[in-house]
Structure formats: C-alpha cells, structure tokens
Amino acid sequence: MKVYIDGQFLDEANAKVSVFDHGLLYGDGVFEGIRMYHNRVFKLREHIERLYWSAKAILLEIPMTQEEMIQATIETCRQNNLRDGYIRLLVTRGKGTLGLDPRRCPKPSVVIIAANLQMYPAELYQKGMAIVTVPTTRNLVNSVNPAIKSLNYLNNILAKIEANNAGVEEAIMLNSDGFVAECTGDNVFIIQKGRLMTPPLSAGALYGITRNTVLDCARAAGIPTSEPLMTRYDVYTADEMFLTGTAAEMIPVVKVDGRVIGNGQVGPLTLQLLAAFRETTKTAGEIIFA
C-alpha cells in the first residue's frame, strides 16, 4: 500500500507522523471518509468542500488548494491500483509542542489512505440490523460542533462502546434535548406513511454526503421528504428505517431498543432508494483511470 503524506507516496511501513503531531496528541485536525465505486471517487468534490469547511471552522489552513487536494486523492487511488474501495483523508494541525497552543504548529500535515473496507457484515444489508439508543449524548453544537468532522471522535467511540456492550453494531445518539441526532457514524432515516424523514442538521446530525444523495434520490422519485425533530417514539413507530454513511452506504434497520420496525423486514421504499443510490454511484464522481 502507498500512503500520501505531505506530497510524498510512502510504503505503509514508512508512512509515519511525528509523535508531537497535534492530531495525535489532541485530536486537533479534520478528516473525510470517501468511497470509490466503478472507477470513480464518489462525490469527491463535495467531500473536499466539506473538508475545507471543517478546517475553516477550527482555523486550520490547509496547505493545498481544493483542486490540488482532489488531484492528490485521485493519484493515491491510482498508486494503489484501486477502482473500488475507501479513502481516508486527514489534515492535522501538524508537529508542535506538548502544549495546547496551535500557534506552535507551523505546518499542517496532509495524509491520504486508499484501501478496502467492509463496514458491516454483508448479511445485515440483506436482512437489516438491530440497534439501540445509548446514554452518551451527542456533542453540543456550541462545544465540538458535530458538523465539524474532527479527529476528536471520542464522543462517537464512547457510544460505539455502549453499542458493543449491548451486542449490536450501531447506536442512536440523542442530543441534549432528547431528540434523535445521528448514530455513531451514520445519519438516521425513517419512513412513515410514504414520507422519508431524517433529523435536521440543527439537532446534531452531520452534513452527510450520502444523506444528501439519498434525499436527492427520494425527491427524484417523487417521495416526500422532511427534516423534523424526531424522538425515539417516531423511530419506534416508523414503517421502515435505514442508516446512511460513506462507509456504511445504506443499511436497513429492523429493530430498535427491542421494538420491531414495521413488519421486521427491509421495506419496499428502502429497497427502492437503495437501488437508486447504487445507480448514482455509477456516474457521480471523479474518474480514477481514464
């Protein structure tokens, strides 16, 4: 495997950052997860735009233009001869001191990894998964805003641990007001009486690229959509449910906190949207190998 670090492609064994990097010491940095499908980097420009938004929010100046970042990402896929897979793109504050002050970090560091990934067991995409609600509250928007894809993911990891302890793969996180925010790494969708609903960004939901793609697919198919505040009651009484994320794609949910969703099987609108999403992956994105 070849890993891009600050303009160089290094073998995996030699791909290293300093122990004084603030990304390692303090989670001081931002990242993106991006998918490759059918020789295309899916929605690459949207992901890069979101990366730069995250960096701007934490006053991190990325030492490359967006176009340079796009080309470096595509070249990383080429270096690894990948046409399908997963990309992890990180920008750290860079090497500094043991103190907190980001002014001690003169040069941010860019890392791009392209590899293969299977987010959940394959059978769950066919049969649907069971999930739970966990006690860990989603970050407040006025603390570490969930809209920022920062390297500090401890809030999500704590919720993932609670999911693991409950014997499931994923967990719903509520915000401080008790409304559904998102899962540990995925956006939440429910379908009720033919209407597709997902929590608003203001509830603590990530500005998801896959989330937006599925909403676009629904509108194109004439499926009504809305973004209301949602409680667990809305989830429990839904006809269908699924999660979306770059790594997870679209995965159905058939049970939440012991409550069966709908009839306990993957629903027809979920299957329709999944088919539409997969069609979109064939044409939306930057070509890797011409």
- The Cα-based distances of 85 to 2, 36, 213, 233 in angstroms read 14, 5, 18, 36
* 149 is known as an active-site residue: yes
- The Cα-based distances of 153 to 43, 123, 138, 263 in angstroms read 23, 27, 11, 34
Degrees, nearest 5: CA angle 282-288-290: 95
**The dihedral formed by the CA atoms of 145, 155, 252 and 124, expressed in degrees to the nearest 10:** 150
Q: Which of 149, 193, 255, 282 is catalytic?
A: 149
Which among 104, 124, 128 is positioned nearest to 18, based on CA atoms?
Answer: 104
Task: Tally the C-alpha atoms within 13 A of residue 10's C-alpha that lie toward its C-beta.
Answer: 14
Q: What proportions of the chain, in percent to the nearest 5, are helix, strand and coil?
A: 30, 30, 40
Helix ranges (H only) for 116-220 are 122-127, 154-165, 209-220
Q: Give catalytic residues, as residue numbers.
A: 149
